[in-house]
Amino acid sequence: MPRMTQRQDPVSTLLDEARQCELESQTRVLELNFREAADLQVVASLLRNIAKDYSKKTGQPLCA
């Protein structure tokens, strides 16, 4: 979950979480745990897609 010291907008939070999943996925690859790495990549992709959809619906720019 996000470790926020100040309030973030939903798009930034989703994109931050997607980046965190990608980093964790890279760690799993180094540990030769390819199934978990693939699962984390799927989660990261899903989070990015949710952020894009939210951005389109709200008109909020998708930056990151």
pLDDT tens digits for range 1-54:
455 445 678 999 999 999 999 999 999 999 999 999 999 999 999 999 999 999
Number of domains the chain contains: 1
- Is 63 a member of any domain? no
Q: What is the pLDDT of residue 7?
A: 64
Structure tokens at 28: 């799993």
- Is 2 a member of any domain? no
Can you say whether the dihedral through the CA atoms of 39, 34, 30, 28 is positive or negative? positive
**What is the model's pTM?**
0.80
- Is 53 a member of any domain? yes
φ, ψ dihedrals at 63, nearest 5°:
-120, 145
Range of the domain at 31: 10-58
Q: What is the pLDDT of residue 32?
A: 98
- Is 3 a member of any domain? no
d(CA 9, CA 23): 21
